[in-house]
């Protein structure tokens, strides 16, 4: 077994090929870009300096998930035109490439950017153009074009929202207005089904690499059950599915994601083993319930998109990463991939997430290699299965070459 200090080598972690399966576009702007866009577009910020925004908005620690999500009002505020969307998508891909990320799944809720100037198609085309430009530039490099190094690929994941604020979105203002006498759960269901249909329509019509469907937003009080029809729709159209679950609520939320929403992956899944969050009187043996649930997830290879920094920032009772539930997930041999969630709001990178995983969970060289390769194997790759298998083999060979060079 290699020393954790050896695996903690920052240069090694930067060099190895990595993936990020869970990263939000609107939570991952460059801070200087946010300030510049806000000034150009007359969007009011609490501060126009990086240090000021770090102190007031994008902090090291947040009170809870609701506090964490407040920063999105500013980032979404500057992403209301095609130029801004294309720019931040390009910069996000470039920032990932510069730290060795070779596969990226960018997720966001297009409905938050709809306005009189931007249609759903225009929003997704803008993000696609930025990502595609970065991909083409990277893959034109000599070592990549020659086959010496694996290329960079990406996919786009469309987010439906568990909850929404009509004050920050023209789309939701319109929806709430025309359905003002309709129960909230029915409005939420209509909104997510609209997104599901748009995702399939645009994927087919514009050939944009939309590779997955997600459910994001405030979890507690907004159950996944509201969104069953949307997930049934994308399921019938062969679009892979992920769900934010177990971040601010307990095992029943995770259970609902994999049973009612057909989830192939789970975002966060932190509260998988939190028996105290099981409220149903039908569950008489809580320990057995979470054990059976975790074994089901492990056996079906439902992958956990683990976001360490984000979790310690948003979960008040998580004081030390060594107490993170992912340690138990790894013991259960569950499929886990370490992700950033939001590069700006959490102030992190994939390399930093892996460094924290090695440090706090004593990953040896085999386990580190396994979790890195898992990200590629369990990706919603935008190509044929044969092409994905070939690409994963390229990644494995490249990883092993770098590991030999570093003596890992």
Alpha carbon distance 346, 348 (integer Å): 6
Residue entry with tokens 């679009």:
239
Alpha carbon distance 348, 339 (integer Å): 10
- Angstrom CA distances, 140 to 101, 152, 387, stand at 16, 10, 19
Q: What is the pLDDT of residue 4?
A: 44
Q: What is the pLDDT of residue 220?
A: 79
Q: What domains does the chain contain, in order, with CATH numbers?
A: 4-406 (3.20.20.140)
H helices of 57-119, where? 65-69, 72-78, 82-97
pTM: 0.95
Q: Are 225 and 256 a contacting pair, CB within 8 Å?
A: yes
Phi, psi angles (nearest 5°) of residue 337: -130, 135
Q: Which two tokens stand for residue 142?
A: 């000599």
Mean pLDDT in consecutive groups of 10 residues from the start of the chain, 408 residues: 62 97 98 98 97 95 85 95 98 98 98 93 98 98 97 98 75 74 81 96 96 91 92 98 94 96 97 95 95 97 98 92 96 97 98 96 94 98 98 98 93
Q: What is the pLDDT of residue 217?
A: 85
Q: Are 52 and 46 a contacting pair, CB within 8 Å?
A: yes
Q: Which two tokens stand for residue 266?
A: 């789970």
Which sign, positive or negative, has the C-alpha torsion 213, 73, 98, 334?
negative
């Amino acid at each position: 077994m290699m020393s954790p200090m050896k695996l903690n080598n920052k240069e090694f972690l930067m060099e190895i090929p990595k993936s990020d399966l869970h990263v939000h576009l609107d939570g991952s702007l460059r801070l200087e870009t946010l300030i510049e866009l806000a000034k150009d577009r007359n969007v009011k910020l609490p501060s126009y300096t990086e240090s000021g925004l770090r102190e007031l908005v994008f902090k090291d620690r947040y009170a809870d998930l609701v506090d964490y999500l407040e920063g999105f009002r500013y980032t979404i505020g500057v992403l209301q035109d095609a130029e801004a969307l294309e720019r931040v998508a390009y910069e996000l891909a470039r920032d990932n490439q510069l730290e060795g990320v070779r596969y990226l799944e960018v997720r966001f809720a297009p409905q938050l950017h709809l306005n009189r100037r931007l249609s759903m198609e225009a929003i997704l085309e803008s993000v696609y153009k930025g990502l595609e430009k970065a991909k083409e530039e990277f893959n034109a490099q000599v070592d990549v074009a020659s086959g010496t190094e694996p290329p960079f690929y990406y996919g786009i994941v469309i987010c439906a929202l568990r909850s929404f604020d009509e004050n920050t979105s023209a789309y939701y203002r319109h929806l709430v207005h025309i359905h003002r006498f309709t129960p909230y759960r029915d409005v939420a269901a209509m909104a997510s089904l609209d997104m599901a249909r748009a995702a399939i329509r645009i994927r087919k019509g514009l050939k944009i690499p939309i590779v997955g469907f997600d459910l994001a937003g405030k979890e507690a009080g907004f159950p996944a059950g509201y969104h069953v029809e949307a997930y049934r729709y994308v399921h019938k159209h062969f679009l892979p599915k992920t769900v934010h679950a177990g971040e601010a609520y307990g095992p029943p939320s995770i259970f609902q994601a994999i049973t009612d929403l057909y989830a192939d992956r789970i975002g966060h899944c932190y509260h998988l083993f939190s028996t105290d969050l099981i409220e149903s009187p039908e569950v008489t043996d809580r320990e057995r319930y979470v054990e059976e649930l975790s074994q089901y997830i492990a056996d079906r290879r439902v992958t956990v998109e683990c976001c360490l920094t984000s979790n310690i920032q948003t979960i008040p009772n998580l004081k030390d990463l060594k107490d993170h539930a992912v340690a138990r997930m790894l013991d259960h041999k569950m499929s886990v991939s370490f992700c950033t969630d939001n590069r700006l709001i959490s102030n992190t990178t994939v390399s930093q997430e892996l460094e924290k995983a090695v440090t706090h969970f004593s990953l040896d060289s085999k386990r580190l290699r396994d979790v890195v390769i898992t990200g590629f194997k369990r990706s919603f790759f935008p190509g044929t299965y044969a092409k994905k298998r070939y690409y994963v083999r390229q990644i494995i060979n490249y990883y092993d070459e770098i590991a030999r060079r570093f003596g890992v």
